[in-house]
Amino acid sequence: MILVDSEQQTVNSLLKKGFISERSEATKSLSIAKGFTLLELLVVIGIISIIGVIAADIFSNVTRSYNKAEIINRVQSSGNKILAQMAEEIRNARRVVSPTLGSSGSSLVIKDFSGSNVNFSFVSPDADDNGFVSRNGVLISDNDFSNGVNVTSLVFNVLNTSPVVIGITISLEQPLGVPGRIDFQAKTDLTTSVSLRTYE
């Protein structure tokens, strides 16, 4: 107590003599009261950095999940659409022209209910184009390089049964034009069997 009182008296005497201004004394006491130490600043910067890394990781995972879900949905939707169109026409066909009963192939020729030949064929992908399925030369799959789907295989298996049953297996994946990142990669295999309503 005595030491503190003597220090205060020294400061007061210096103030009276004009060696220390009151303003500098007030500023000094404010800066001491409101300042941060280097350690406190480093701790705050560290905490903010950790929160930033966690937030960036969460955002990145959400974006990846969205991209993956969108690609999977597009691939499955396109595959189901192709299968539905082929199954409807095959179901109402008069007979199978090729491949022969008990065999399989990547193209199917049927005689439709009006007696005309319908040819479903598969064209495999190459370096510049997605694979696709066509009906009499007209595409029934979306082979847009960036936004379509890449049909990688199509197999028709004609069973020797009565009535004739055709097994269809189609494999699809993301189009060749999407980024090569893992979140843009999707692949699906779809299978169905169609029984002809035999007319002949």
| pLDDT tens readout for residues 156-183 | 999 988 889 999 999 999 999 888 888 7
Distance in angstroms (rounded) separating the CA atoms of residues 191 and 169: 4
Is residue 65 one of the residues assigned to a domain?
Answer: yes
139 and 187 both lie in a single domain: yes
Is residue 20 one of the residues assigned to a domain?
Answer: yes
Is residue 40 one of the residues assigned to a domain?
Answer: no
Domain count, the chain: 2
Confidence of residue 184 (pLDDT cuts 50, 70, 90): confident
Instruction: State the pLDDT at residue 140.
Output: 92
105 and 172 both lie in a single domain: yes
Is residue 90 one of the residues assigned to a domain?
Answer: yes
Higher-confidence position of 186 and 4: 186
23 and 116 both lie in a single domain: no
Q: Which residue has the tokens 């007061």?
A: 12
Higher-confidence position of 122 and 20: 122
25 and 116 both lie in a single domain: no
19 and 52 both lie in a single domain: no
94 and 175 both lie in a single domain: yes
Name the percent of the chain lying above pLDDT 90.
Answer: 47
Is residue 41 one of the residues assigned to a domain?
Answer: no
R_g (Cα) of the chain, nearest Å: 38
Is residue 42 one of the residues assigned to a domain?
Answer: no
Domain coverage including residue 103: 48-195
14 and 99 both lie in a single domain: no
Helix (H) or strand (E) holding 139: strand 138-139
Instruction: State the pLDDT at residue 195.
Output: 92
28 and 59 both lie in a single domain: no
Distance in angstroms (rounded) separating the CA atoms of residues 140 and 117: 17
Is residue 43 one of the residues assigned to a domain?
Answer: no
Q: Is the pLDDT of residue 46 over 60?
A: yes
58: tokens are 């969460």
Is residue 200 one of the residues assigned to a domain?
Answer: no
66 and 24 both lie in a single domain: no
| pLDDT tens readout for residues 63-121 | 888 888 888 888 899 999 999 999 999 999 989 999 998 999 999 999 988 889 999 99
70 and 152 both lie in a single domain: yes
31 and 68 both lie in a single domain: no
Cα–Cα–Cα angle for 55, 56, 58, rounded to 5 degrees = 65
* Contact call for residues 107 and 156 (beta carbons, < 8 A): yes
120 and 27 both lie in a single domain: no
Higher-confidence position of 199 and 96: 96
| pLDDT tens readout for residues 20-44 | 555 555 555 555 557 788 899 999 9
Instruction: State the pLDDT at residue 1.
Output: 46
